Chain A
Amino acid sequence: MSSHLLEIRNLSVRFQSGSHQLTAVDGVDLTIDKGETLGIVGESGCGKTVLATSLLGLLPSSARVATHRLQFSGIDLSNVPSGGWRSIRGRRIGMVFQDPTTALNPLRTIGSQLAESIAIHDRSATSREIRKRIIDLLESVGIAGASGRLSDYPHQWSGGMRQRALIAMAISNSPDLLIADEPTTALDVTIQAQVLELLRSIQRERELAMIFISHSLGVVNSIADRISVMYAGRIVESGPCSEVLTTPSHPYTRALIDCFPEIGRSRGSLVAIDGQPPRHIGKIDGCRFRDRCNVGRDRLDCVSHDPVLKRAAGDRSVACHAVVI
């Protein structure tokens, strides 16, 4: 029995398309404990969204999941019986996705959608109880005058308010884990700051564990305790957020930091990474980052062996041949 809230060992997700097989996630190890925020950072195609959806049982039927361990609070997520996900999704694990416009049904009122997410998991609640809970929830996520707004439709609310409503839905049944996949990417910067602040305070109050997925190092830095950097379906570096970002070990992490635009960085100081993030993960010998890496491009072991995530000092892990542990 694991002491972690969520423990993932060697998770792989592949998609079967006719005779082709595409690998989206290739051997990921992750843990998260109660009350902590794990940030997962990666560019497009790295597999972070597939990872999130595999934790929620939302993968399409063409997906093949293989894992040594996928344990959430004593439940084996790799082996959930049909119908079993209903008691997990929305109840034990909440989710907030990127686009509030598509996550909310435009034809139903906000109030009815929130009510449904509560009623599904709590059949004994009366409609008056539900209404009170909804109002409390909406006010706790910063929507003033919630009692008068329950019959609004999603299009009447701004992007920021819709995202707050989604967060309210996600926490409505007091889950233990919240999975947020790019929840602020579609929002304006000043609204994003507010929503991040909201997520932080909710997490503190409810001692939620949160997996926060983003392509932006800066956003993850503002909210995560620990960070995992993903590249081509693998975690390449993991550790406490501030440590990883001040003293990165993996060349990709270092390169991401060097190319991150920042107020105060002088013009022309961005160091770009050659090439582009891989769209598919093919069968390559050696490290996947090799042809973009200024350290490992010609190193023998980088060319021939795929590095494995290894523990280093403190709480850090790196998957790189060039790092001395």
Chain B
Amino acid sequence: MSSLRSRIWVLRLISSTAGVLVWLLLAMAAPWLAPHDPFLVVGEGLAAPSWHHPLGTDLIGRDLFSGVLFGARTSATIVVGVAAIVVVIAFIVGLVSGYLGGIIDDFLMRIAEIFQVVPRFFLAIVAIAYFGSGVDRLIVILGLTSWSGLARVIRAETLSVRESAFIEAAQLFGSGIFRTIFREILPNIAPTVAVYLTLLLSRVLLVEASLAFIGLSDPSSISWGYLAGSSQAYLRSAWWIAVFPGLAILMAALSLTSLGDAIGRRERK
């Protein structure tokens, strides 16, 4: 790789990692960093950004800066929660399917297909209508509807690595199933999986934001999407209510995809 492209790549990696880290840090520190409770009315409604309210206030006078900080917390919670569910299920299904093959593979892939075919957004709406709109429920729904794509990627990677000579050599010197999968195969598929995972989580973030935008988020927690959605009627007069939450969504999603892209390029070079 030429040195100019190499430098761009390093910049990209640093900035995207920084973006994700800043988001997570803000999310964790929100209760301490936020000057006000995001639900409390603390100022005049529709106040422009000022010294007291750096990002302005919304319709009824709640501080937007606090809102954005707590929104980071909500979105981070959801993304991390979904990541946990997705990683666990997808790895188990993908590794087992790819390594063992045969009937087990067929069976597991049929199940994955069922989950893949379901339209995630609309299922979420229906589920929220049925079960209510809590963050925990949303994590479960999004997690269950997102794992199958990752499982397929893991399976495909496992299949290709499984045929390698070094896997056969390991089996010949006595490596058992578990060791072969986790010590030999997994380190080789991790980078590709990481790329796909970041893209997946980026999409999850956007789905959550979209649901919140149309008012289906958990009312007890602030969400960026909700903030952006609530500003629809005031876009021209109070632009800040849409722009800042919108920027936050953009930065978070971009950081994730950029990070995935940077990891992918490192592998390709």
Contact = CB atoms under 8 A, between A and B. Distances in A.
Nearest to B3: A18
Interface in A12-28: 17-20
Residue of B2, B5, B6 contacting most chain A CB atoms (<10 Å):
B2
Contacts of A18: 1-6
A54 B72 CA distance: 58
Interface residues of B, number: 6
A247 to B, nearest CB: 43
A64 to B, nearest CB: 15
Using C-beta atoms within 8 Å of the partner chain, give the interface range for chain A. under 10
A19 B3 CA distance: 6
A18 B5 CA distance: 9
Interface of B is mostly: helix
Contacts of B2: 17-19
B234 to A, nearest CB: 51
A8 B3 CA distance: 33
Interface string B1-31: 1111110000000000000000000000000
A14 to B, nearest CB: 15
A18 B2 CA distance: 4
A244 B234 CA distance: 90
Contacts of A17: 2
Nearest to B4: A18
A19 B2 CA distance: 7
Contacts of A20: 3
Contacts of A19: 2-3
B230 to A, nearest CB: 50
Contacts of B5: 18
A117 B137 CA distance: 67
Contacts of B3: 18-20
Nearest to A19: B3
A107 B6 CA distance: 37
A26 B2 CA distance: 23
Interface of A: 17-20
Given A19-B2, A20-B3, 6 more contacts: A17-B2, A18-B1, A18-B2, A18-B4, A18-B6, A19-B3
10 contacts: A17-B2, A18-B1, A18-B2, A18-B3, A18-B4, A18-B5, A18-B6, A19-B2, A19-B3, A20-B3
